[in-house]
Amino acid sequence: MLSMMIHDEASVRQAIYLTQQHCLSGGLNVAFQNNVRATPQFENHIRRYFLPFCRDAIQSFLAVGFAPYRLRKLRDGCQVPEILPIGTYSWNVSRAPTVLPKAWYFDRNKDHMGVADNTGGSKKDETPLLSYEVTSGYTDTPPSVYVFTQPSTLFPCTSALSTLVQPYRMLCHKRECTLRADQYNSKPAVVFEEQLKTTRATDASSTGSVIREEIIEENRERRYKMDTRQTLHHDVFDSARIRSQLPDETVTLVAPLNHSVHSLDKALTPMDVHREELGFMRLVAVATGLPPSLLLQGSAVIGTSAVSTSASSMAWSDSAESCNRMIMETCNHINSHLQMLLEDVYGAIYKDAIKRMPKFSMRALPTLCLEQLSSVFESELIDDDVFSSILKVASHQL
């Protein structure tokens, strides 16, 4: 259900796309010791393989709460990281075995309890108590796992998007009910009811049994005579349908004699489906850490054409500022994990050069409206490169 929601739901895909665009809006910078920049060849290598890796890692962070990856070897022998696609692996939460200590001692100097081992010192176990165990047929070797959200023994998945599975299931159920109701209501539903029609004079002059036999015989003769007339009606209706260019599946029904026509009741569709859609989109925005206005309207800033007074413009600027703060907090949190993930990947690929570990930095650019951006640029607070980068991010959001 989680994989189907991520791949099929447009609002979830849009939230993931916006998060990726904002987190990677400033690009990926690599600097070695003493602030030595990488060579152009290595920068192209980072831009070609590591940036898509970060983009896929963001989706994995939001989807399952961790990033399973493998090292793929290219034709030239270089290794590049690759996130395992969702649906190609399964996982479970494992608990590390806890061994009871053989003896406890009290350290008077440090005023705390410690565990006595064979050497007589305090022993510290760095193995996490809970961890993800990922199995996949996508790779021959066991994949590496970077933890974004801590696992839990109560739930197999503690990611941001996993909290939306139950609301999404209810929304899909309402969509199916609406679709079935629309299909039922779009089909013709007509019932013919036979009714014996007699005059009051006939009722007053004859008994009931005799009247009924006469009426049945009379209706039988009329049905026989109506066959030719109904055939003529259908021929006329068919010729009219051809001239009016109606669809071929159009059906014309003519009620027989002494029959009344009744239409069946329509099926009721679930109420407020549109409101449910907007409510689910708001839940998606809250779960991913995006402003709801950014996901609902496609931009964090509402158009300035509707702003007429100073009070409304002040409220509009405050709303834009709050949206920017929310976006920046979300991006800084995700980028800090991406930097640690890239350090782990770099250490796994270049084991011999681990002492010369570079510093990966990713900074998200704020989203500004065109009026604010132009005033900042005219005040020479930003240079041309930053100005073009912000314009590029804004063009992707529109």
Q: pLDDT by residue for the chain (398 residues), tens digit each?
A: 888 898 888 889 999 998 998 898 888 888 887 777 778 888 888 889 999 999 999 999 999 999 999 998 888 888 899 999 988 888 988 887 765 555 555 455 555 545 444 444 444 456 778 888 888 888 888 889 999 988 888 888 888 898 899 999 998 888 888 888 888 877 777 777 777 665 555 555 555 555 567 767 777 777 777 777 777 777 777 777 777 776 766 666 666 666 777 777 777 776 677 888 888 999 999 898 888 887 776 433 333 333 334 444 444 444 667 777 888 889 999 999 999 999 889 888 887 766 677 888 888 876 655 555 666 667 666 667 776 776 665 555 44
Same domain, 82 and 164: yes
Over its C-alpha atoms, the chain yields an Rg (Å, rounded) of 36
Contact partners, residue 285, CB within 8 Å, separation at least 6: 15, 291, 292, 294, 295, 296
Q: Which of 243, 263, 283 is the last residue of a domain?
A: 263
Start-to-end CA distance of the chain, whole Å, equals 30
DSSP class per residue in 111-156: TEEEEB-TTSSB----S-SEEEEEEESS-SSPPEEEESS---SS-S
Same domain, 14 and 82: yes
Element (H, E) at 310: helix 310-349
Same domain, 50 and 149: yes
Q: Total structural domains in the chain?
A: 2
Same domain, 24 and 149: yes
Same domain, 69 and 155: yes
Q: Is residue 181 part of a domain?
A: no
Q: Which of 263, 282, 298 is the last residue of a domain?
A: 263
Q: Is residue 7 part of a domain?
A: yes
Same domain, 353 and 215: no
Strand segments, DSSP code E, in 255-327 are 259-263
Helix, strand or coil for residue 80? strand
Same domain, 344 and 284: yes
* Residue 169, phi then psi, degrees to nearest 5: -65, -40
pTM of the predicted protein model: 0.66
Same domain, 317 and 208: no
Q: Which domain holds residue 227?
A: 193-263
Q: Which of 217, 237, 263 is the last residue of a domain?
A: 263
Q: Is residue 125 part of a domain?
A: no
Among candidate residues 333, 9, 20, the one with its CA nearest the CA of residue 175: 9
Same domain, 169 and 203: no
Same domain, 259 and 277: no
**CA–CA separation, 173 and 270 (whole Å):** 10
Q: Is residue 381 part of a domain?
A: no
Same domain, 250 and 213: yes
